[in-house]
């Protein structure tokens, strides 16, 4: 069997393959409540052969939403709306996961569907954002710096959201510490100028993330916990691979089971050269130096490409995003490409369309 299609087990959870769906914001919720769009959107990937389907960045508090249309898990009503979506993913053979998030200074922004950019004003339904330091992301409103009580409240919110995620039936909980959102803002010296126990040294800048991992780990029980990192800010003086290796090892010691490696998003002046698999070398180095399982993401668009990454030991799993949007049956297609058409089972309703392999 191919490396990509070999099952993987983390703690109690077994994934039927290593081709997974990365979190993708849909900006389609009302009051943080997922709806029929989210149900169909996520369940189709399970039917399409994914081993894991991770729901979008889901805010732990209302003011942690990227846009007013983001999903949430700060109420029991939101939990109850997620439950049938989770059941639909599981019924189709995939593991359901969710990404728990707080957008920090990048919250309260316009949906990309609105045709507008920048921060949403209070008059239009926006809110004042918070961050480690009162430094605005370019083009956005300035945030307020969090005090100690505010930081404690965010840790409590992650804990409560993690409990609700488990109650809804999610099997994987991912902590979002990437793409310039709140936990990444604390990690990077470009956005964290604090002089207290949450700023300055790497240990201090990582303190909030480690507290969040601790409470999510406690809520998760024997379910896997992932942490998504931006391995580099792609900007001088910012967060980089060395820091990701160090903090990646720390979160593993605190109970994280897999590091989901992406990059960028913290500052507007980042300089990135993209291309097929452009973030895979970051994942490979972090895997090699930490010994912790990693997921790779970024312009991975075919079964053979994904197979080569896993077979070479550069990542333990592939988290694709846009390719699943282009083809919700990417998993079935990849299995056929790799000559393993039975490794990602076709729904019996679709069996008549399954390509036949000669020989």
Question: Which residue numbers are catalytic?
Answer: 181
Angstrom distance (rounded) from CA 29 to CA 46: 21
Angstrom distance (rounded) from CA 144 to CA 254: 29
3-state secondary structure of 230: strand
**Residue reference for tokens 């029929």:** 36
Of 165, 147, 180, the residue nearest 216 (C-alpha): 165
185: DSSP letter: H
HSE (side-chain half, CA atoms, 13 Å) at 207: 15
In sequence order, the β-bridge partners of residue 72 are: 59
User: What six digits make up the tokens of 327?
Assistant: 């083809």
Count H helices, E strands: the chain? 11, 12
HSE (side-chain half, CA atoms, 13 Å) at 64: 27
Per DSSP, helices labelled H in the chain are 36-47, 76-91, 148-168, 182-187, 202-205, 207-220, 241-253, 280-290, 303-311, 322-326, 330-337
Cα-Cα-Cα-Cα torsion 175, 282, 255, 33, nearest 10 degrees, comes to 20
């Amino acid at each position: 069997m191919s490396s990509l299609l070999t099952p993987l087990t983390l703690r109690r959870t077994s994934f039927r393959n290593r081709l997974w769906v990365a979190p993708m914001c849909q900006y389609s919720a009302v009051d943080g409540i997922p709806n029929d769009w989210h149900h169909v959107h996520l369940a189709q990937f399970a039917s399409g052969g994914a081993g894991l389907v991770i729901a979008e960045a889901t805010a732990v508090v209302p003011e942690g939403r990227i846009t007013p249309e983001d999903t949430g898990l700060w109420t029991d009503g939101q939990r109850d709306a997620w439950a049938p979506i989770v059941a639909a993913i599981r019924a189709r053979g995939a593991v359901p996961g969710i990404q728990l998030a707080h957008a920090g200074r990048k919250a309260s922004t316009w949906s990309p569907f609105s045709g507008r950019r920048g921060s949403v004003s209070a008059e239009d339904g926006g809110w004042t954002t918070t961050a480690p330091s009162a430094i605005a992301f370019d083009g956005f409103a300035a945030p307020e710096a969090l005090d100690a009580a505010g930081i404690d409240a965010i840790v409590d919110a992650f804990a409560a959201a993690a409990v609700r995620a488990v109650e809804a039936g999610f099997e994987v909980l991912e902590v979002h510490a990437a793409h310039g959102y709140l936990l990444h803002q604390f990690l990077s010296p470009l956005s964290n100028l604090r002089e207290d126990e949450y700023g300055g040294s790497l240990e201090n800048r990582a303190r909030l993330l480690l507290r969040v991992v601790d409470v999510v780990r406690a809520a998760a029980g024997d379910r896997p916990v992932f942490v998504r990192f931006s391995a580099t800010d792609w900007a001088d003086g910012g967060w980089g691979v060395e820091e990701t290796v160090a903090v990646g090892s720390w979160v593993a010691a605190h109970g994280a089971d897999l590091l989901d490696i992406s990059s960028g998003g913290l500052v507007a002046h980042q300089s990135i050269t993209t291309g097929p698999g452009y973030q895979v070398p970051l994942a490979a180095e972090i895997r090699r130096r930490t010994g912790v399982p990693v997921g790779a993401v970024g312009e991975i668009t075919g079964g053979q490409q994904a197979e080569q990454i896993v077979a070479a030991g550069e990542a333990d799993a592939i988290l694709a995003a846009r390719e699943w949007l282009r083809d919700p049956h990417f998993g079935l297609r990849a299995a056929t490409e790799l000559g393993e058409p039975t490794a990602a089972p076709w729904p019996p309703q679709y069996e008549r369309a399954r390509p036949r392999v000669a020989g």
